Structure 1
Amino acid sequence: MSAELVTERLTLRPWRIEDAEAALAIYGDSGVSRWLSPAMDPVADVSAMRLVLQQWMGEDNRLMWPAGRWAIERRDDQRLIGGAVLLPLPPRGEDMEMGWQLLPSAWGHGYATEAGLAIAKWALDEGLDEIFAVVRPTNNRGEATIRRIGMEWVGETDKYYNMRLQVFRLRASDLAAQGPHL
């Protein structure tokens, strides 16, 4: 099960079945789902979202630590505004990918950067040497967030998810160079 991570404005916690309606507002939105890797159609309804959450929760229990999936809540109102992952990248699972998805109404407030930094710092503190983020070449918003986290572009590949992706990496030394504000 994923560890709970708390930042200044956010709580990243394990998903729950009762999150289905709020999660549907995220994963049912084509503006969100179009950027996901692997590709995912928008979730159609609350029942389908419950099934997705059940699948994610079951997968979370089988993942090797520190991999996991999180719901992202704002601390001030406990509103679920997104989801985040730290998962092995296919095809062999030797690289760990972090990612996040937010409600469109939550875009532009720095939540993705805050969540991404929390996951990165935690994962590297838990012993990972490096973590990756992958983004479609036309996802300028996602790439900007990745760069704000301090990740370094390392190239373009079709190795992951059978699609052309930009690859970014973050190592513990990169975080240390950013200073103590994390």
Structure 2
Amino acid sequence: MSPDPAVFTTERLTVRPWERADRERAFDLYSRWEVARRLGSSPAVLDSLDAADARIERFRSSSADPRFGIWAVQRKDTGVVAGTVLLVPIPGGDGEVEVGWHLHPDSWGRGFATEAARGAVARGFAGGLPEIHAVVRPDNEPSMAVCRRLGMTPQGRTTRWYGTELECFHLPRPLTGPADEGIRAYGA
């Protein structure tokens, strides 16, 4: 079976659907407390390959809308999955869409989160989204730095989503020049 086609590519990354063949890497990523502690309202690590399979299946079926998804971020140079990037409606929101990322610690500090998120944001704007949000745990300075590199504006703390206090960031669709020019400038 051939791999699913890319959702989008960047200079160093291929963003594609998660595949069953990624199960060991998904388990290695999501079984680590240093990653899982920043995710969801009740953080928990994966405890088995079966749980990794279920996570991959959930990611693959995350949205019927083709603009949205939870995708694997694969390095072009090594073929290793560096982590996940997502562009999804915020659960419990009023139609707000968030960009997010979960990277394996062996891929931290290399700019992969910013690169993948920039591509996801460009995809969202190209798909007609008027704005994109990010929500980050208050102690997650590296992810807040990614938000700033994306040009997102801090909106302060909120408990509106995910049942926990989060820092909220906002990015409106670029409005300079023709709409597709602003998107192209952003990275699409």
Displacement of 1:146 in angstroms is 1.0
Q: Is the 8 A contact 1:2 1:68 kept in 2?
A: no
Q: String of CA shifts for 1:25-77, please: whole Å, max 9, x gaps.
A: 111111001011344311112121011111222234x3x23111100000111
SS at match of 1:13: strand
CA change 1:162–1:177 in 2 (3 A) is same
Gap runs ≥5 in structure 1: none
CA distance in 1 between partners of 2:100 and 2:5 (Å)? 14
The aligned amino acid for 2:185 is P
CA change 1:93–1:50 in 2 (3 A) is farther
CA distance in 2 between partners of 1:144 and 1:2 (Å)? 30
Q: How many residues align?
A: 180
TM-score, with structure 2 as normaliser: 0.87
Displacement of 1:113 in angstroms is 0.5
Q: String of CA shifts for 1:53-110, please: whole Å, max 9, x gaps.
A: 11222234x3x23111100000111111101111111214510011001110110000
Aligned partner of 2:133 in structure 1 is 132
Alignment of 1:53-132 (within 5 A): 53-60=56-63, 62=64, 64-132=65-133
SS at match of 2:62: helix
Provide the identity percentage: 33
Q: Is the 8 A contact 2:118 2:186 kept in 1?
A: no
Select between 90-99 and 25-34 the one with higher mean Cα deviation.
90-99
SS at match of 1:180: helix
Aligned partner of 1:14 in structure 2 is 17
